Amino acid sequence: MPANKALKRRRGLISRKALPYVLSLPALIVCIGILIPFFTAVFYSLQRYRLSQPWARKMNWGENYLNFLSDPGFWSTLKVSLSYAVLTVGLELLFGLGIALLLRKRNRVNNFVSILLLLPLMTAPALAALMFKLMTNPGFGILSYFLTLIGIDDFRWGASPSSALFTVVLVDIWVYTPFIMILLLAGLRSLPTQPFEAAALDGVPRIQQFFRITLPMLTPYILTATLFRLLESIQQFDIIYAMTQGGPGDTLTVFQVEAYLNFFQSTNVGRSAALLMILWAITFVISNIFIKNWLRLRERARGEA
């Protein structure tokens, strides 16, 4: 094109400087959309507020929180939530790592199995709980039947306080182990081969190779997976609510389930909000650790690319 003397000088519909802001406006709106209810919740947590007694609503500042200290219900909630989180994440890490090691080599069988293992992860946790509920039905449940085959006749799964935790943890393991497996498998497959080849040449036994080379190099992935799952586990709602609604009694009243029941059953907005704030504080601390660690991993991956 020969030099065009009639060069346009338009700046376009949107000036260059304003463009980025316009594009991210919706994200900003969603941000605000989250922050408003959040601060409302903070506000509620400092109130004595029951929907069923709107006239009695008043600020009681930190009283909700102080009451928790002497409330056995709160400690029970804390204890169950932590047990659930530790059990699920710990066991899922173990199994996930094991399966990832099993599937480490790239071959047809392993790839096929990896794909199959995606399926539990893609199942809605609430529906997975439902599936297990059917399978553990005392009357016709297949799992109950299997137990009778080995002599355990009266295992009540989710209906009994002693086995309810076990049951929901089982469902969680079924749904979420594949997630850890995928992460760790990606990590395993991205490890450089030279250290292993060198170790093999030196005659280092495989088990030692695992503990001395594999595990340390996998640490960032393990950490990422752990923190990610920890964050989700301590807030678990779907599986527990779908399985037992927090029961039997109050054996499974983890944070979010308890908050839900407080809000909808007891209409105790204040307590519910305070409970959620404590949960949020816990997740905030963990997620900050996670984000820092994840950013570091990302920088490393970028640097090697």
Partner 1 sequence: MEHSSILEKVLRGIALCLVITFFMFPILWIVLMSFQTNETILRVPPSFIFEPTLANYKAMFTGKLETSAASLEIHFLRNLGNSVLLSVGAVSLSLLLGVPAAYAFARHKFKGSEDIAFTLLSFRFAPPLLVLLPLSLYFQKIGLADTYIGLIWVYQLICLPLILWIVRGYFEDISPDIEYAYRIAGHSWFSTFRKIALPLAGPGIAAAGLLAFIFAWNNFIFALVLASADKQPVTVGALAFVTASGIQYGQIAAAVVMSIAPTLALALYAQKYLVEGLSLGAVKG
Partner 2 sequence: MSHLQLKSLTKKYKKDTVVDAVNLSVNEAETLVLFGPSGAGKTVLLRLIAGVVEPDAGTVEIDQEDMTEVEAEHRGLGMAFQNFALFPHMSAFENIASPLRAAKLNKNDLKERVGDVARLLKIEHVLSHMPRALSNGQKQRTALARALVGEPPILLLDDPLRNVDAKLRFEMRLELPSLLRGRGTTVIYVTQDYKEAMALGDHIAVLVDGRVVQHGSPEDIYLRPANLEIARLFGDPVINRFEVNPVAEGENVSVALSGIELPLHGAEPSLSGTACVLGIRPEYVSFVPENVPGSIPVNVEAETPINEKIITLAKTTGGRELLVSRPARTNGPDSGNAFVTIKPGSGLLFKQSSGELLHGIVNTQVTEAVA
Contacts with partner 2, residue ranges (CB under 8 A): 1-4, 7-12, 16
Residues 140-159 that bind partner 1 (CB under 8 A): 140, 142, 145
* DSSP string across 8-45: -----SS-TTTHHHHHHHHHHHHHHHHHHHHHHHHHHH
Q: Which residue in 7, 56, 109, 150 binds partner 1 (CB under 8 A)?
A: 109
Q: Give least dist CB 5 to partner 2, A.
A: 8
Structure tokens at 176: 């979420």
Distance CA 171, CA 292 (A): 30
**Residue 58, H or E segment:** strand 58-59
Angle at 104 between CA 102 and CA 108, to 5 degrees: 95
Using the Cα atoms of residue 110, residue 111, residue 114 and residue 119 in order, give the sign of their dihedral: negative
Name which of 70 and 148 has its Cβ closer to partner 1. Answer: 148
Q: Which residue in 7, 69, 301, 304 binds partner 1 (CB under 8 A)?
A: 301
Q: Give least dist CB 9 to partner 2, A.
A: 6
Phi first, then psi: give them for residue 185, nearest 5 degrees: -65, -45
Per CB under 8 A, which region of 32-40, 52-60, 64-72, 150-158 contacts partner 1? 32-40
Name which of 70 and 116 has its Cβ closer to partner 1. Answer: 116
Name which of 168 and 279 has its Cβ closer to partner 1. Answer: 279
23 binds, among partner 2, partner 1, none (CB under 5 to 8 A by kind): partner 1
Q: Does 290 bind partner 1 (CB under 8 A)?
A: yes
Per CB under 8 A, which region of 60-68, 83-91, 159-167, 230-238 contacts partner 1? 230-238
Q: Does 246 bind partner 1 (CB under 8 A)?
A: no
Tell me if residue 179 falls in helix, strand or coil. Answer: helix
242 binds, among partner 2, partner 1, none (CB under 5 to 8 A by kind): partner 1
Distance CA 156, CA 167 (A): 9
Residues contacting 233, CB < 8 A, separation 6+: 84, 85, 88, 89, 172
65 binds, among partner 2, partner 1, none (CB under 5 to 8 A by kind): none
Question: How many angstroms separate the Cα of 17 from the Cα of each of 13, 20, 22, 26?
Answer: 12, 7, 10, 17
Identify any residues that bridge with 283 across adjacent strands, giving them in sequence order.
Answer: none
284 binds, among partner 1, partner 2, none (CB under 5 to 8 A by kind): partner 1
